[in-house]
Structure 1
Amino acid sequence: MVSEFKEFAMRGNVVDLAVGVIIGAAFAPIVSTLVENIIMPPIGYVLAGIDFSSLAIVLPTPTGDGVEIKYGLFLNAVFKFLVTALAIFLLVRVLNKLQKPAPAEAPAPPPPSEIYLREIRDALVNRQA
C-alpha cells in the first residue's frame, strides 16, 4: 500500500497539481492587490469617484438596523477572478509554447544535379555488376 501511494504521489499530474495549488495560493494576494489598488481605483474614478468596495444596498428591518447587500465586494471578487483567470491563461499559453517542439520541416528535395549524379552512379554500378 505504501509503494502504491508513493507511485500515486510521484505521478507527474499529482506533482503538477500540487505545484499549481501552491503557486495559486501565493498568486492570490498579488491579484487581490492588483485589483483593489490598481484596477478598481481608475474604474471608480471614471465612474465619478465610486468606491466599489463600499457599494451596498441597505434593506430596512423592523429593528431599525439595515441589512446590507454588499454587491461592491462581489464586483471586486468578480474582477479578481477575471484577472486571475487571464493571468493563468497567459501563463499556461506561454508554457505550452515553450514545451511544444517546433514542427519538423520536411527535407527539401535534392537539386536536379544531385539526382543526375545519383542516376549516373547507379548506372555505373549496374554496368560493373
Structure 2
Amino acid sequence: MAIPVTVADDSMMSRKAVLRAIPEDWDVEVSEAKNGKEALVMVEQGKAEVLFLDLTMPEMDGFEVLTHLHEHHAKTVVIVISADIQPEAKKLVDKLGAFRFLQKPLQKEELHNTLQELGLL
C-alpha cells in the first residue's frame, strides 16, 4: 500500500528536486503544496503521512505548520528541507518535532539514508 507523501515548498523547482530525490522503489502517492496552508489541508485529507516541508513559504511558513502539527497531528513524519541553516532555526525545528532537517540543495543519498533510518525503505 502506497504511503501518502506531500512535498510542501513555494518553489516549483524545489518541489521537483525533492520529487527527483525520492527513491524510485519507494511505494508512495505524492501530493504537492505551494504553501503552509495547503500543506495542512493535505495532512487533514490524509495525504501526508510523510511531509517534506520548506520553512520559508507565503501564507503560512514551515514553523507555523510544525507548530500546528506538533499540537494536532503528532503522527505526521516531518522532514524539513530548507536553505535556512541557522542554528536557531534547526533548534526550533527539532523542538517542534521534525524528524530531520535536510539542507537545500537536497542530496538524493541523504534523503535515502533518512528514509532508511525511519524504517520507510
TM-score normalised to the size of structure 2?
0.18
Structure with larger RCO (C-alpha < 8 A, sep 6+): 2
Bigger fraction of residues in strand: 2
Give the TM-score normalised by the residue count of structure 1.
0.17
Which structure's CA Rg is the greater one?
A: 1
Between Structure 1 and Structure 2, the one with more helix by share is 1
